[in-house]
Amino acid sequence: MAWNEPGGNRNDNDPWGTGGGRGGNDQGPPDLDEALKKGLDKLNRLLGGKGNKSGGNGGSSSSGGGAGGFGAILALAAIIFAGYVIFQSFYTVNEQERAVVLRFGEFSRTETPGLRFKVPLIDSVYLVRVTNVRNAESTGQMLTQDENLVSVDLQVQYRVGDAKSYVLNVRDSNQALAFATDSALRHEVGSSTLDDVLTEGRAELAVRVEQRLQSFLEEYGTGLTIVRVNVESTQPPDAVQDAFREVQRAREDEQQVKEEAETYRNKVVPEARGRAQRLTEEAAAYKEEVIERARGETSRFLAVLDVYQTAPEVTRERMYIQALEGVLSNTSKVLVDTQSSDNMMYLPLDRLTNRSGANTGGQGGSGSSGSDIDIKTLSDQVIQELRGRQDSGVRRSR
């Protein structure tokens, strides 16, 4: 049977516990308003007010409970407000951030990392990340100095250098950066030729764009600092890409030929320099040899001159005989001229040499070596004969 069915023992089954202990009166569940009043009374007593004591005078108790409840609500609101003010008075700035503080909308200060204080509802704090590097991209077709179209893809890496300028000077710094990037890129591309933008001048183009873009950002007061500008790609329009590829291949072939020529030059030039150095050294050695030989000949001539000045006739005859020795040692025929008669003596040394060579050859000797010995012997004999005739002619003249 349910606890609230008629005719049953409702006092035993009452879940609110309002049964038998109170004389069997069925009062039902407690009222929520009564529970709230009791809670407010306790809070009021804790705050120093007078609680709502139940008594015989129900009207006065009800009036006092209403006033105490309103005061408790005000006290609770004051506590909540004080906690909110304390919570909003402190904030933390990370190592990667800077805090820009505005007081009544006007710049007050820039805070560094750490735990900081602000006046609630008066100071406004803007936290700006100043260490992380951000990226921005720009793409478009532009006209070069030689009136050609080129497509350029550009990437800009930047960070916040001045937090105050970043927050206050420009409403949208990122949009200002995009406009400044497009302006700087078009200015530099318009001042360059197509070949420079597409090939060798692309790295230099990135440097010039970075410098001009940084000057624009400083002039605008955006507070941004450019870290690096990368020209990712530069391409001609689609209609002329095939022709441009042909030009690129031709330039690559040209560069290859230049490198081969440079390699050949590096091989040939050192060899030529080595040969030139060797010839120079040989010429220097020949020069020293000739000079030393000339000095020796000069010394010998001066020595002969001293002897000649002492005995001219003897020296003359001696020199004449030495000259004849040099001539007759290399000839096979001798003509002898004497002062005693008008006859001229002819000595066929070649025939005598052949004859003696044949004789020695019949004896089993070597013909060439025998001929050389016979020629020397005959030359010595002729010289002795000439000296004897010369001596006899000198004696007769005396």
Q: Among residues 364, 361, 387, 385, which one has the least CA distance to residue 374?
A: 361
**Structural domain includes residue 121:** yes
Question: Is 70 exceeded by the pLDDT of residue 391?
Answer: no
Among 65-74, 239-248, 296-305, 367-376, which stretch is predicted with the lowest mean pLDDT?
367-376
CA–CA gap between residue 126 and residue 175 (Å, rounded): 19
Number of structural domains (the chain) is 2
Half-sphere exposure of 288 toward its Cβ, with a 13 Å CA cutoff? 5
Which residue, of 236, 254, 276, is where some domain finishes? 236
Among 5-9, 194-198, 207-211, 272-276, which stretch is predicted with the lowest mean pLDDT?
5-9
Same domain? 122 vs 152: no
How many other C-beta atoms can be found within 10 angstroms of the C-beta atom of residue 132?
Answer: 9
**pLDDT of amino acid 228:** 92
Among 51-65, 106-120, 124-138, 273-287, which stretch is predicted with the lowest mean pLDDT?
51-65
Per-residue pLDDT of 218-248, as tens digits, reads: 998 889 999 999 988 888 877 777 887 887 7
Q: Provide the pairing of β-strand 90-93 with 114-117.
A: antiparallel
**Structural domain includes residue 200:** yes
> pLDDT-based confidence at 46, cuts 50/70/90?
low
Same domain? 160 vs 210: yes
Residue 182 CB-density burial (10 A; 0-12 exposed, 13-18 middle, 19+ buried): middle
**Structural domain includes residue 65:** no
Return the CATH number at 230.
3.30.479.30
**Structural domain includes residue 306:** no
Q: Among residues 248, 239, 233, 243, which one has the least CA distance to residue 149?
A: 239
Per-residue pLDDT of 369-380, as tens digits, reads: 444 445 566 666
Same domain? 184 vs 227: yes
> pLDDT-based confidence at 181, cuts 50/70/90?
very high
C-alpha distance across the termini of the chain, in Å:
197
pTM of the complete model? 0.46
**Structural domain includes residue 269:** no
Same domain? 176 vs 106: no
**Structural domain includes residue 41:** no
- Is 102 in contact with 118 (CB distance < 8 Å)? no
Same domain? 174 vs 138: yes
**Structural domain includes residue 167:** yes
Same domain? 145 vs 93: no
Which residue, of 76, 111, 127, is where some domain finishes? 127
**Structural domain includes residue 169:** yes
Same domain? 99 vs 173: no
Same domain? 109 vs 192: no
Q: Which residue has the higher pLDDT, 388 or 307?
A: 307
Which residue, of 236, 264, 297, is where some domain finishes? 236
Beta strands in 236-343 (DSSP E): 334-337
Question: Is 60 exceeded by the pLDDT of residue 26?
Answer: no
With H, G, I as helix, E, B as strand and everything else as coil, classify residue 127.
strand
Question: Is 70 exceeded by the pLDDT of residue 322?
Answer: yes
Same domain? 228 vs 152: yes
**Which residue has 């450019």 as its token pair?**
226
Domain that holds residue 173: 133-236
Per-residue pLDDT of 209-224, as tens digits, reads: 999 999 999 998 889 9
Q: What average pLDDT does range 157-184 have in this prediction?
A: 89
Among 5-14, 92-101, 315-324, 387-396, which stretch is predicted with the lowest mean pLDDT?
5-14
